[in-house]
Each structure stands twice: as structure tokens, then as C-alpha cells.
Amino acid sequence: GRFAARIEGEVLRHFPDTDRLEIDGVRIESVAPDGRITRASARNALSNSDASEVQLIGDARVVSQLGDGDQLEIDGEFLHAFLRFERLRSHLPVKVSRGSMVTRAAGMDYDHLNSELRLDGPVHTTLQPAVRPPVRPAARATARPTTRPEAGPAAQAAPAR
């Protein structure tokens, strides 16, 4: 269980004097020590040499598996990822989605290890109701005449007094 990350892109430029990377069309996949997978993409990225800190720039998107099998999706024009510490920040507007919940905020700071998400206002959240299968109406009960022996023709023909 150790942290691992893979960075791919259309074009990668390394600057030895600062030991930084610039990546066009970046795609990142990281695996946390517990096996959870996080995928990220953006038009461009700036990264340090060991990929522990990556700035995603332009159509940035991060999709992370959560412990309950659900996934968290974060979209924005700029996302600053600290992969080793499983943190994600942005000072620009973001959209955070989980299941049927969609939240838009002016910025955010997400700390996965501590299960904390701080959103900067204004914040707007939309909750969609869960989709349930339609309820079928109950079958209509129809009354059927029953014949009881005591209500038969012999019982009805009792002598009148």
C-alpha cells in the first residue's frame, strides 16, 4: 500500500532549471495506499518532478472513488492537486458532484484523508430525488357471489306464517 501516480499527455516539456513539467492534454491516474483510484484531466498542467503537486488548468476534472463505492467528481477551470496528501484546492468556481447532488461554489478546499470539503461562497446545491420504479396500482378486487347451502332454494322457500 503505497501511493502511485501516472501522468500522460499529448506534449510534455521538462524544465531542468526548475525541475518542473508542463503537460498539454494531461491525464493523471493515481492509486492511494488503500487502492482507491483517482483520475484527472485538463487541457494543461504544471507539475513538480515527482508529480506530488499538479496544477490542472483549463477544463480541469477530477473523479475519485469513495470508500462507499460512490464517486466524487470535481470540475473547474483550475484545480490544484496535492496527490500524496489527497488534497484538492481551487480559488476559481467549481462544480462538485456526488450521486444526485450537484454543488457549485466560488472555490473550494477538499481534504480526502480527513473527509472535509470547504466551499467558498456563494454556494448553490441541487439535490435530485432518487429515481424509483413506478408503483403499480393494486389489482381491483371484484366481488363474486358465493352460494352457501343455507341460502340455497330450500332455505328461501320457508313456509310463510
Q: What is the pLDDT of residue 81?
A: 93
Q: What is the pLDDT of residue 135?
A: 75
Q: Reduced to 3 states, what is the DSSP secondary structure of residue 51?
A: coil
pLDDT 10s digits, 18-67 = 999 999 999 999 888 878 888 999 999 999 988 889 999 999 999 998 87
pLDDT over 80 at 161, yes or no: no
What are the pLDDT digits (tens) for 82-140?
988 889 999 999 999 998 899 999 999 999 889 899 999 899 999 887 677 777 776 66
Q: Are 96 and 103 in contact (CB under 8 A)?
A: yes
Buried b / exposed e over 85-94, threshold 16 CB at 10 Å, is ebbbbbeebb
pLDDT at 145 over 80: no
Report CA Rg, the chain. 31
Among 158, 157, 155, 76, smallest CA distance to 120 is for 76
What pLDDT shows up at residue 49? 84
pLDDT computed for residue 139 by the predictor: 64
Rounded to a whole number, what is the distance in angstroms from the first to the last CA of the chain? 99
Q: Return the C-alpha cell found at 116.
A: 472535509
**DSSP code for 36:** -
- For residues 103, 121, 47 and 59, what is the CA-based torsion angle, rounded to 10 degrees? 50
pTM for this predicted structure: 0.75
